[in-house]
Chain A
C-alpha cells in the first residue's frame, strides 16, 4: 500500500506540504480559535484602513501595524485596505461559494485532536491540496475510519481563519469512494457473515498437526506456489503437495477459486491451503467475495488461508479454519519441521528403551521374587520333611531294630525261667507230698496185725469154700471139652483134610472155580494162598 500511496502523492512538494500541515496541526490550535477570533475583533472593521505604502513603510520601519494604529502614514492611497478588510473581502467571497462536494485523498490524518475531538488534515489530488476540518460532531457520525490515502467525498464549505489568513474546507459530511467504499462494503459483509455465525470459533475445524497431503489452491503462475513448495520442501518434504490452479484476482477469479476448492476437496487431502501473495486492497478483493467466502466456510476439508501480507485481512481469512499471515506461514503451519519429528523420534526411542527395560526389569524382579519364594518354600518343605524323617528315624523300631527281638528274647527267657521253676515245683511237691504220705502211711499201719490175721483166716475159709463149690462144674466142663474136641474140624484137618476158601468164603464145588482164580487153602497148622490152574470136576458129580 505504501509505495502506491507515495506514487499518488507525487512530488516532494506534496510531501513537504504534508509535513507542513502536520506541523501546523501541532501548533497551538489556530483553527480552534477561528470563530472566537472573529468574535474577539469586531472592531477590526471600524479601524482605519492603512495604505499599501503604510504597510510597506511599517514593514520597512519595523513599526507594528494593526487595527490599533490610528495614524495613516503619508502617501497611502485612498483605495488601500487593511489586511483585515482584505480578508473580510476574501471571507465573504468564500462564503459566496455554495456548499461543495469535493473528491480528494486524505493526507496527514492524525486522528481527532486529543483535547477538542476535531480532526485536522488535508485533502489532495494529484496537483492540489487544501486543509480540511471535520468537527467532532461530524466525525462521530462517520461510517468508516479515515486514514491517509483514502479517497473520500467531503461535502461542506470553505472557511477563512483570519488571524492567520488560513483557508480551510470544513466538511459537514464524509462519504467513502473507491477503496474506502469497498472497505465499507467489505466491513458490512463481514458483519453480516459474523452475525450468521460463519466466523464462530466453534465451527472452525482442527487442522491435523501433521498434514501428509495438502492441496494448494492458488495461481500456478505466481511465485506463491513455489514459495509454498520450497517452504514445505525445507520444513518437511514428507508433505505431499497437490497444486490446484486458479485465478486469484480480477474478473472471474472467485468462481475459479470456488471450483478449485471443490476439486481440491474431492481429493480429500488433510487440508487445503488457500493462498495468495501480497497485493493492493483491490487485488485482494477477490477474497472478500461472498460466494467464495461461503465456499471456504462450507468446504468439507479444513481450509488454511494465507492471503496477502501481515496486516491484510480478508473475509476468507475470517471464516477459514486457520488464518496465517502469509502463504509461507500457512505452509509452515500444516506440518511440523523435520527436526521436530527427529526430536520426537529421539524421545520415542528413549521412551521405547525405558519402557522395554522397565518391562524386563519388572519381569526379572518378579522372577527373582518368585525364585526367592520358591527357594524359601523348598527350604521350608525340605526342613519339614527332614523333621518328619528325623522323627521317623528316631522311632525305636528303626533306631534299634534288635531291641524288639531282645525284648521278646528277654520275655521268653523270663517265661522259660518261670516254666523251669514251675516244672521243678511240680516234681518236688509230689515228692514231698509222697514222703509225707509215706510217713503218714507208716504211722497209720500200727493197728493192722489183728486185722491181718482175721483176713488170713477168712482167706483160708474162702479158699476151702471155693474149692468145694468148683469141683462139680470142673468135672462137667472137662467132659464137655472132650466132646467138643472130638467134634472139632481141626481134628479132621489133622487127618489130612483141607478147606478151600474163595473170596466169598468156603467153596465146596470145584465148578465154582475157574482157572486163574485165587484161593486160600486152610490146612491143620495154617493157610496157603493158591491160584487155580485147572478145574477138573469129579465125573460122578458131573451131570
Chain B
C-alpha cells in the first residue's frame, strides 16, 4: 500500500470491501515483495475481520428528511424497522 492506510475502523463497509478486493488482487497478481505481501496479508485479515464483525453487528440506520417551511431541510433520526417476527395486526 503506497499511501498511508487509514485505520480499518474509519473505513466504510464499501471502502473496506473495495480495499480488501484490491489487496487480494494485488496478492493474486504475484508480483509483490514478500515484505509488502506480508503487510498486505495482515491488512487483508484485519479488513476481513472488521467486515465480518460489521455484518454480524449491523444495525439499520434510518433518518427522516424533513422540509421546513422556509424550504430548508433537516435530517433527523428515524425509527429503524421493527423486525420482530410478532404479528403486527
Q: CA A232 – CA B60 in complex, angstroms?
A: 8
Q: Is B75 an interface residue (CB 8 A)?
A: yes
Q: CA A245 – CA B67 in complex, angstroms?
A: 9
Within 8 A of A (CB), among B37-89: 37-38, 40-41, 44-45, 48, 51-52, 54-55, 58-65, 67, 73, 75, 78-83
Q: Is B27 an interface residue (CB 8 A)?
A: yes
Within 8 A of B (CB), among A349-374: 349, 351-352, 354-356, 358-360, 362-363
Q: Is B24 an interface residue (CB 8 A)?
A: yes
Q: 12 A-B Cβ contacts within 8 A?
A: A226-B81, A229-B80, A233-B80, A238-B58, A240-B62, A241-B63, A267-B65, A342-B55, A344-B17, A345-B48, A352-B24, A355-B24
* B54→A242 contact, CB < 8 A: no
Q: Is B32 an interface residue (CB 8 A)?
A: yes
Q: Is A264 an interface residue (CB 8 A)?
A: yes
B41: which A residues are within 8 A, CB to CB?
Answer: 352, 356, 359
A212: which B residues are within 8 A, CB to CB?
Answer: 12-14
* B45→A352 contact, CB < 8 A: yes
B12: which A residues are within 8 A, CB to CB?
Answer: 212
A215: which B residues are within 8 A, CB to CB?
Answer: 65
Query: Which residues does A use to contact B, with CB under 8 Å?
Result: 210, 212, 215, 220, 226, 229-234, 236-245, 259-260, 263-264, 266-267, 338, 341-342, 344-345, 348-349, 351-352, 354-356, 358-360, 362-363
B75: which A residues are within 8 A, CB to CB?
Answer: 242, 267
Query: Which residues does B use to contact A, with CB under 8 Å?
Result: 12-14, 17, 20-21, 23-24, 27-28, 30, 32, 34, 37-38, 40-41, 44-45, 48, 51-52, 54-55, 58-65, 67, 73, 75, 78-83
How many residue-residue contacts, CB under 8 A, span A and B? 117
* B55→A241 contact, CB < 8 A: no
Residue A243 contacts which of B38, B62, B82 (CB distance < 8 angstroms)? B62
* A266→B14 contact, CB < 8 A: no
Q: CA A354 – CA B37 in complex, angstroms?
A: 12
* A355→B61 contact, CB < 8 A: no
A349: which B residues are within 8 A, CB to CB?
Answer: 48
10 new A-B contacts, CB < 8 A, other than A215-B65, A359-B27, are A220-B64, A230-B81, A230-B82, A232-B60, A233-B80, A234-B81, A234-B83, A243-B63, A243-B78, A344-B17
Q: CA A359 – CA B78 in complex, angstroms?
A: 48
